[in-house]
Structure 1
Amino acid sequence: MTTDATHYDEQGEVPLGGYAVLASVFVASAGTFALVARRRGVRLPQEVPPWDVALMGVTTYKASRLLTRDKITSFLRAPFTRRAGQGEAAEVMDEPRGSGVRRAVGDLLCCPFCVSAWAAGALVGTYATSPRLTRLVCGGFGALTVADWMQYAWTWTQQTTES
């Protein structure tokens, strides 16, 4: 079986051109940030302490879940996705709609793992220019993540005692 760029999969639904546009936007954004930072004399940190990596990791996780699964952020996804069902807890499941770049953005916004790369890229950029602000924002997202786990623990405890 042979495939070409327009039919990457069996159904011919993979928007390779749209993915290329998104990858180009990501790379162009990182490059633009690097050029602007260099011109403004931003000094990159010599190292990133493990605690900061952990904070940014938790924030990347939570930001990607908020953008891809939260009901309240549905308005951001709606032009590119449609509601496919209810996820665990208060999360929702969306599926991409359309074709080309619209479909590619929909694929991105349905995938917390995919959005994580974008969130991490944004955090690294802000950390390079303003580490204190980034730590503060990450601390807030970290607290939100801990609160989520507390909610799950409370729900599990209630379900266990009622059984």
Structure 2
Amino acid sequence: MSERSVRAKISRLRQAYAPHDHRPLGGYLVAMGTYTGVTGLLATLVKVTGRPVPVRPSTADIVLVSIATHKLSRVLTKDAVTSPLRAPFTQYDKPIGSGEVMEQVRDSGSGTRHAIGELLSCPFCLAVWIATGLTGGLVLAPRLTRLAATALTAVAASDFLQMGYAIAQQAAHRPARPVSASPG
């Protein structure tokens, strides 16, 4: 099948799938293919290195990877400091607090570029990739992966403590509400 016929089929599929909205199905296919390739590469590395794959990951590793995935996905998709990584695919919209920014996907005309923009601006979308990488890391380089995941987990815990502190500080500076006498 030629590239031209593949593009024509994707175009017809996109029109049938979302006639009133631009959905970059071709770009999504590229992203899924890349994810499949990365996952296949991880599986191949595990097999070639002979690393044992755990029958069941420990609860501690699941919690550690979960929190680290959450934090790294927020850092990469929302952190103001990492915006240069997203800038080729997104456009700044507004600050959303706690050092995070909201960005919109650039309308570049390229389905692949659009799909990458969606991936890099969506913490839920990127979390799948990050969790896959960290899980592969637990098999291929467990000590280093646990160390990095521990640092990310500590930062996530610190974020929640900072937010809790800010809420407590605001509450402490609010004027007291007058107590009304209840009838009766």
Shorter-chain TM-score bucket reads over 0.9
Report the alpha carbon displacement of residue 10 of structure 1 after superposing the two structures with TM.
4.3
Partner of 1:140: 151
2:137 matches 1:126:
yes
**Distance in 1 between residues matched to 2:44 and 2:158, nearest whole Å:** 38
- 1:89 is aligned, of 81, 98, 121, to 98
* Counterpart residue identity of residue 78, structure 1: A
| Equivalent residues of 1:6, 1:12 under 8 A apart | no
Which blocks of at least 5 consecutive residues in structure 2 are unaligned?
A: 1-10, 175-184
**Distance in 1 between residues matched to 2:82 and 2:13, nearest whole Å:** 33
Which structure has the greater CA radius of gyration? 2
The alignment's C-alpha RMSD in Å is 1.4
Q: How does 1:5-154 map to 2 (within 5 A)?
A: 5-7=13-15, 8-97=17-106, 98=108, 99-154=110-165
* TM-score using structure 2 length: 0.83
| More displaced stretch, 66-75 vs 128-137 | 128-137
**Distance in 2 between residues matched to 1:146 and 1:152, nearest whole Å:** 10
Report the alpha carbon displacement of residue 11 of structure 1 after superposing the two structures with TM.
3.4
Which blocks of at least 5 consecutive residues in structure 1 are unaligned?
A: none
SS in 1 for 2:80: coil
Report the alpha carbon displacement of residue 87 of structure 1 after superposing the two structures with TM.
1.0
* Aligned length, in residue pairs: 161
**Distance in 2 between residues matched to 1:43 and 1:15, nearest whole Å:** 39
Question: Which stretches of structure 1, 4 residues or more, deviate above 3 A after TM superposition?
Answer: none
| More displaced stretch, 53-62 vs 5-14 | 5-14
* TM-score using structure 1 length: 0.93
**Distance in 1 between residues matched to 2:133 and 2:23, nearest whole Å:** 26
Question: Deviations for 1:97-147, whole angstroms, at most 9, x for unmatched residues?
Answer: 123100000011111000000000100110011222211111111110111
